[in-house]
Amino acid sequence: MMKLSMQAMAGITLWIAQLSPDAIAKERIPFQGANAYLNPGYSEQIDKSLAIETDASLYAKMESLKQVPTTIWLESLESIVGNKTRMSLEDHLVEAARQQEALATDGKIKPMTVQVAIYNLPDRDCSALASNGKLKADEGGLEIYKREFIDVIADHFADPRFANLRIVAIIEPDSLPNMVTNLSMAPCQKVNQDKTYESGIQYALQTLSQLPNMYLYLDIAHSGWLGWDTNLGPAVTYYSQFLSEVAGDRFPLIDGFISNVSGYTPVEEEFLPDSRFAINYQQIRSADFYEWNLIFDERDFASELKKEFVKAGFPESTQFLIDTSRNGWGGPNRPLKNEGPYATPNEHVDALRIDKRPHRGSWCNADGAGIGARPQVLPYGEDDAVTAFIWGKPPGESDGTSDSSQTGPDYEGKQFDPMCSPTYVTGAGNPTGAMDDAPSAGTWFPRQFKMLIENAYPPIEVK
């Protein structure tokens, strides 16, 4: 079992006297009965778009999104300490505690959730280039990750000043899924051989799980990645084995999983409810867009995952979150009713699918995308696999640069990936569907932000 620093452990011993009655017993679902932290840093990014927006209606919609909780990305050592233009983790937590106190009613402090993405593994994103980080396993990156990243984050969360905050942590997006499907790629082979991702995530989970105000959700890709039977079964086996080894008698250690982080896959393909629906004896899952994948959307993905994880020994209480920040797909190209059937599976799927990307593997700055459902707890009730919608990727932040001249890592370790080029065509003949003139990953992209608002579904309503 990993141990917190002496400072963190000293902080924990002071907690019980400071915890509010609502915070003493850990809620199964952190979002229930809680307010949510509004990130001032995201508001400042929105201000960049407000400064150049002339349409009054769009301006009002942009302004309204300052009231939507988004996730703080801890993706480097620098993201913890902050700088002149970026809040430190401590600043965020202090501000969250201030917001929490300001919302107190009759002197009673209500719990508040603070969402963070832990995203700094050595050699991260082994199958892509746009969001590579600076830590390298061959240069001692794993020890740096443990001691200077995870330990420091844990010390901040263990500070008694923040005892009443509920920390909702997304653990290392785009890491373990690569260990299920992308081992044909040399960088992924290397991190798999060295157990870099497993070792880092093991340490993160064992360290952070000791804190009573932590809620841990492990990234599990999306339906267009792990939805095939040939991927979903092995993924559940892999995750189950990994977590059982990490947790021991504390299995499953995590509170649940999150899908579609920074993704574009719809929660529901409402006009394609049955992937086995046949046209001239051909099931629509045979269409080029779905490539025989049985699972078309994230709600069905969560449902299938829960069934399989419960079979593998996970409790029925295991939660599934969906990042809905950019999977709305509204706008003029959204189908409005279930017409058809059309003549062929391809025609039927292309006419009725909400997801208008050229391919489900298109992940970078998808042109035509829109903001999805706003954060919500239990959107389908207590009995559904989906526990909550949250915004993982703050809408308006780029997925990666479209500048093909950026062939070497920048100061953050990021560089050009062909999937971010609007002119690139994959070996399978699929265009990327990426937007042009995109800045580096994580940088504010005003044109994308405007597009996401214009195509939001449900539409953004300003009261």
pLDDT in tens, 152-162: 999 999 999 99
- Residue stretches of the annotated binding site for substrate: 73, 222, 225, 280, 363, 393, 397
At residue 92, the 3 state secondary structure works out as helix
H-run or E-run covering 117: strand 112-118
Q: Determine the pLDDT at residue 4.
A: 55
Q: Show the DSSP H helices in 103-226 as ranges.
A: 141-144, 151-157, 176-181, 186-194, 196-208, 223-226
pLDDT at residue 184, rounded to an integer: 96
On whether residue 14 sits in a domain, the answer given is: no
- For residue 392, give both structure tokens: 């993982």
Per-residue DSSP letter, 137: G
State pLDDT tens for residues 329-369: 999 999 998 888 999 999 999 999 999 999 999 999 999 99
Supply the CATH number for residue 310's domain: 3.20.20.40
122 belongs to a structural domain: yes
Q: What is the pLDDT of residues 251-294, one digit of tens each?
A: 999 999 999 999 999 999 999 999 999 999 999 999 999 999 99
pLDDT, position 125: 96
Does some domain include residue 264?
yes
In a domain, 400, yes or no: yes
Distance separating the N- and C-terminal Cα atoms of the chain: 50
Among 356, 348, 349, residue whose Cα is nearest residue 329 = 356
Say if residue 322's pLDDT is above 60: yes
399 catalytic per annotation: yes
- The C-alpha angle 197, 202, 205, rounded to 5 degrees, equals 120
Percent of the chain residues past pLDDT 70, beyond the cut = 95
Active-site residue, from 125, 159, 174, 417: 174
* Burial (CB count <10 Å: 0-12, 13-18, 19+), residue 368: buried
**Inside any domain, residue 131:** yes
For the ranges 4-18, 70-84, 323-337, 346-360, the lowest mean pLDDT is seen at 4-18
β-strand partners of 214:
167
Closest C-alpha among 404, 402, 406 to residue 422:
402
425 within some domain: yes
Q: Among the options 151, 159, 399, 417, which is catalytic?
A: 399
Write out pLDDT tens, residues 172-229.
Answer: 999 999 999 999 999 999 999 999 999 999 999 999 999 999 999 999 999 999 999 9
Q: Has residue 411 been placed in a domain? A: yes
Residue bearing the bigger pLDDT, 231 or 338? 231
CA-to-CA distance for 250 and 247, rounded, in angstroms? 5
Q: Residue positions in the annotated binding site?
A: 73, 222, 225, 280, 363, 393, 397
Closest listed residue to residue 112, CA positions, set 190, 17, 12, 39: 39
- Which residue range forms the structural domain that includes residue 188? 35-455
Q: Is residue 1 part of a domain?
A: no
Residue 10 has pLDDT above 90, yes or no: no
Indicate the number of domains in the chain.
1
Strand-pair category, 376-377 with 386-390: antiparallel
Using alpha carbons only, give the angle 288, 293, 296 rounded to the nearest 5 degrees. Answer: 90
